[in-house]
Amino acid sequence: MPNSRIKNEDQYETLIDKGYSKEKAARIANTPNAGKKGGKAKPYEEWTKEVLYQQAKDVGIEGRSKMKKKELIYALRNN
């Protein structure tokens, strides 16, 4: 049964099958451009702190407002 709260149901199911928690799979599948490929994004180190903050907000990372740039990068890579 599809979940109307999940933007990219196929990606969500794939992540669940790979062992991701439902919460983490939902956060990833609900981010803008979820499931799109291209590999053209710059590494996080080249992003501004403001853009990193917005990405952290989009994926639901808590405590982001107090994080420094390196902490945002770590949180995005390990969330």
Whether the Cβ atoms of residue 29 and residue 40 lie closer than 8 Å to each other: no
- What local confidence, expressed as pLDDT, does residue 30 receive? 80
- What local confidence, expressed as pLDDT, does residue 57 receive? 92
Same-domain check for residues 20 and 45: no
pLDDT, tens digit (0-9, with 9 covering 90-100), for 33-77: 655 566 677 888 999 999 999 999 988 899 999 999 999 999 988
Question: Which of these, 31, 12, 50, lies nearest to 2 by C-alpha position?
Answer: 12
Domain of residue 15: give its range: 1-38
Task: Domain count for the chain, please give it.
Answer: 2
Q: Which residue has the higher pLDDT, 74 or 23?
A: 74
- What local confidence, expressed as pLDDT, does residue 12 receive? 85
Same-domain check for residues 53 and 73: yes
Please report which residue ranges of the chain form alpha helices under DSSP H.
9-17, 22-29, 49-59, 69-78
Same-domain check for residues 45 and 79: yes
Same-domain check for residues 47 and 23: no
Same-domain check for residues 24 and 49: no
Q: Is the pLDDT of residue 4 over 70?
A: no
d(CA 11, CA 55): 18
Same-domain check for residues 47 and 25: no
